[in-house]
Amino acid sequence: MTSFQLFIVGTIFFSVAASLALAKKYGSLFNHSQRMVITMFIGTSIGLCIGMFFAFILPGNMYLSTMLGLSAGAFLGGLCGWNLGVVAGLEGLISALMGGMMGAMLGEMLTYSESLLILNFSLSLSVCSLILYPVFKNLSSPDSVIYSYKWLLKPLVVFLIVLCFLLAGSVLNDEPVDDINHHQQHSS
């Protein structure tokens, strides 16, 4: 595996591990709808990442990359939602299953540079989906009054941190983007 592929796998497993830890810590504070939103968001974004990853490492083999994307996405999405309850776990499983399928298909149909952009976008979604835990925790508390406007800077700081993280991961891609032609070119 290349360092860029290890970066992708590491980011996905970080998102899953952080989601499990946050669900264990804050899960009892959420109502049913909040649990469903969290698991759907995390499941879909992780499924997209996994599907795109398998399309990257198995170019030209759409069936295998789709089946692996479905399976791994469903497992990781269900795992992320399991600490929030059985229904939320099933929601995460189905959302990640669909995301894995869509990611694998997109990865096979698009060019390498376009797939790289979508993969970076879905990686950022999976990392940023972890923000939902503290946001919903604060919405669930009876004292949800904002005492300071410093909270306006928090989304900007998180965005900049995730942006730097993704740029650092893209630097690990040691292959020139324009010279890679391992995806099939589909004509319509």
Place of tokens 């941190």: 161
- This prediction has a pTM of 0.77
For residue range 103-161, list pLDDT tens digits in order: 999 988 988 888 888 888 888 888 888 888 887 777 666 665 556 666 667 767 777 78
On whether residue 182 sits in a domain, the answer given is no
Separation CA 59–CA 79 (nearest Å): 27
Place of tokens 């804050």: 26
On whether residue 65 sits in a domain, the answer given is yes
On whether residue 188 sits in a domain, the answer given is no
Instruction: Give the total number of structural domains in the chain.
Output: 1
Separation CA 187–CA 32 (nearest Å): 45
On whether residue 180 sits in a domain, the answer given is no
On whether residue 183 sits in a domain, the answer given is no
Residue 128 domain boundaries: 3-141+148-171
